[in-house]
Each structure stands twice: as structure tokens, then as C-alpha cells.
Structure 1
Amino acid sequence: MRPRSTTARPGDSELLIGRLHTEKPFHTVREAGLTSWLLIYNLGGEGVFHHPGGVQRTKPGDAVLFPSGFARDYGATRKSSYRRFYAEFHPRAEWHELLQWPELAPSLRHLSIRTDSARHAIELTFTEAIALGLSHHPRREAFARNALEKILLWCDTENPLGKSALIDPRIRRALDHLTQHLAEPITLAALARHCGLSVSRLSWLFHHATGTSPLQYLEICRMNRARQLLRLTPNPIQDIAAEVGYADPFYFSMRFKRHTGKSPRAYRQAA
């Protein structure tokens, strides 16, 4: 049985991105010398990756990376569904920092994507990139490469060797919670409970990591989102205020003007 697949080569011979679904064991071996890199992200089931030091079995949320020049030896051994996204690509020069994942061997790198927000973002971006690659959009190649860069950036947030690893995981949880709940009332005490910290400890760690307080950061995120909505949508200002957490549109206008120097209406007219 051949694997069911959705593959897009969005006008770029150096980028191949897609999704595969197999239900029987398989084994793939590619000899050394390939100039491309290969990223495989596990959506479901178990993948098996062989390297000189042993075997790595992957579960949903795991990502593996084959650098260029090395042999590739992988597959699935169980008679069960194995679903994955993949991208074969030649990296841009500025991507190499994003590709410094923990090595199982020189020929294989591995990350476990643990947070729900990162998993959701990676899976959504892969899906969008495949759809664009299969379209006739004149900019599909640029969109696809930008989508791959976004995927690598999200992977980097889970990379213990990356810059994001310097942020306390409890503060990353706070950052995720704030950005995902802009419309909801959030108190410092509730945020501290969500992160398993005292209010004072949360405040200190958050300021140390970001240079600002949690509630100041929340307001900055709300105003950035409001700017986007004012530029890109015709929504009434009171609806935008509610969408970014302000029940009172007059108070929203006052805070918006303090951040931007303009009222929401004037900002929209100038955009």
C-alpha cells in the first residue's frame, strides 16, 4: 500500500513540503551526499530513526532534522497509522542559527515540542504552507519559504540550545497565556496561580526576562493587536476595544492615544 500524501512544490525546486500518512511498516534509506535538509514533524503514531549511536523513536509533537550531506535511515515498524509533516529544503543563510538543534548524532537532530501553543502554530503553518503551495498564487513560493521560516522559529522556542531557552519556562507560560487571552480580564494574582508562582516571584522573574511588568506587557500586546485591527479591518472601534479586553471604548481610546499619540479613529485614517 502506498502512503497517502499531500505534497506541494511551490514553484521552488529547492523546497518540497507536504504531509504523509502510512498505515503499514516501511523503511526508507537515502545515501549520503544529498545537499538538502529534511525536517519531519510527527503528527501521530511512531516514527523510527536510525543513526550511528542507536535508534530514536518519535511520538506526536517530536521533530527530527537531517542535515545535508548525511545518509537518512528512517521508517515505521508498527502496523498502525503514522502521520507526519515534512519539508525538504535548502536553508537560507540566516536560518542556520535556527537549525542548531540537539544532536543525537552528526546525521540527526531532535526536538520535542512540548507546549500546546507551539504545536498548534507549527501544525497550522504546515497546513497553510501546503495549501498555498498547491495553489496558483503568484507569490506561493515566497509564502511557502516564509511559512517554513515561521515553523523553524516556533521550533526554536522549544530548543534547549536556542535563545528562548534562556527564559524561565514559567515565564514563557505567562507570556503565552497573556497573548492568547487578550480579550479576557486578567489579574496579576490569577496569572501567578496559572504559572504556579507567588505574585512577587512572578513579577520579579517576568521583569528580569522582559524588562517590563506582566500587566504592562499585556497592555502592549493589546495595543499592538488593536493597531492591526484598525489597519486591516473595518470593525467598529467599540468592537475592537472589546476584542482586546476593554469593555469601555472611551477608556480604550485614552490608553490607545497614550501609546500611539493618536486616537483610534485618527490612527485608522492615517494608516
Structure 2
Amino acid sequence: MWKKTKGFLFHLFPHHFVSRFTFWLTRLETPLKNPAIRLFIRTFDVDMSESEYQSAESYITFNKFFTRKLIAGARPIDSHANSIACPADGRISQIAKYLDGQAIQAKGQNFSMLQLLGGENKYGTLCKSGHFATIYLSPKNYHRVHMPFDGELVEMIYVPGRLFSVAPYSVEIIKGLYSRNERIVSIFKTKIGYMAVVMVGAVNVAAIEMAWEGLVTPPHGKNIARKTYSNVKLKKGDELGIFNMGSTVVIAFEANKLEWHSNLQTQQVVQMGQTLGEAII
């Protein structure tokens, strides 16, 4: 009963208004950001030893702190040509195969891969069957997203939607959460077929930036927007995008193109660059 009540309250919450306020607040250049940053570090046990700058005073705004870079070498990228790298720091929500266009969101909950990717079935088997992994970024994590595999950008798709929380409790109770939230879908052509990297927005995710486009959202649109690209090539480990406040990344590959490592489990802590699986060449 309580889960249903929470689900109902989530639908009433003014997600976009709160996120717009967060966007404004976290970009204020004010001395008050210093105690705010220090409180955040203590509350969420943020490891600043890996950060390029380690003091609150080094960041001109709270958002600059939240989107901080790491020191060189903090996240080694598996150099094996066929390895699939983790795109972000966080926890594995799910890592599995998917069939009939339905991927696991949580126990008893699925989401539509076709809807997640913007509603057009034109990239091989991506919308029907394949391999996917979902990584949840908590507030303490490094919030830059990197390429899991070498690829050439084909299309970027902005999909408008809600901004429900993507915390584990929300994932368990909100049906089709990932395919309902605002998101940026990036489709790449790789040597093993098409690959999708989806950056899913959430409440307080005030903005999403992409390496080749800059700030994509806000503004929060009302219609799906597609943009095709040529000659935008990224290597495994290259920075792909930035969450301005945290959220979730979904990566997907076509069917029978890779094998996930069998020792990976849901809720396992992972770091950007570590190996999730191996491509089948």
C-alpha cells in the first residue's frame, strides 16, 4: 500500500520546476557554496582524493564541484581492443540480455527498449533484442560519462519526459521509469554493430551536456528531436557527456555481439573504465 502511495505522490511532484530551480541555484557564484560543498562531501562521503581539485574553494560554483574532473590515471581504461568498458562510476542496476523489446528495470518491472530509444526501430536489433547494462550514479559519484567501446556517432535523440527520481526505490515502483523520463539517446556504429548510450534525466538533474554538442537540456522540450552526425568518432574511455546532478546510464548492444562477465551482479559497485564484458568478433 505504501509503495502505491509513494508512486502516486511521485506523479504529483513538480519535477521540472524543482529541477529548474536546482539549475539556477547550483550555478550561483557565491561564498555560500563553500559550506554547501563541504556539507555535501561529509553527507555523501565523497572521495575528493581522486578529484582534480580537492578543496571547496577551488570550485567557482556548486555545479563545477559536482561535475568535477578526476586526476589523470584515476580511472584506467581496459586497453584490450574487444573489451566493453563501464561508462560511469556507480552501481549496476541491471546487466543482462533482453528479448522481445523488453528489458528488466527491477524485479517485476520492465521497460520498452523501443520507447527508451525514441520510438523508431531502425538500428539493427537494438529495439528488439540484445545486451544491456544500467548504471545508477549516486550523489557521491563522479558524474562524467565515457564511451564503453570505440564508435562513430550516427544520431543523437532528445526525448522529453518526466523527471522521476531514479533512486532504487523509484525504480522498483514506477512502471517503465527509464522510458518515461527525459533522456538523451546517442546511437553509435561500432565494429560489432549498433550501440546505444542513454543518459536518463531525473529530478534535480538540472542539465545534460554532450561532448559534441554542449548543453542539450535545458531547455526542456516537448517533442522528440533528432540530429544526425558524420565523422564524430570517439574511442573507448573518451568523455561522452556530463550529468549536472546525478542519474542513470543505460548502454545497449545488438543481440549476439558480446558476453557480459559472469561475475557481475546487480547492486555491485563499479567504476568507469573497468571491464563489463567482451565483444564477440
Structure 1 length-normalised TM: 0.21
TM-score norm. by structure 2 comes to 0.21
Higher relative contact order (CA 8 A, sep 6+): 2
Structure with more of its chain in helix, by fraction: 1
Flag the structure with higher strand content.
2
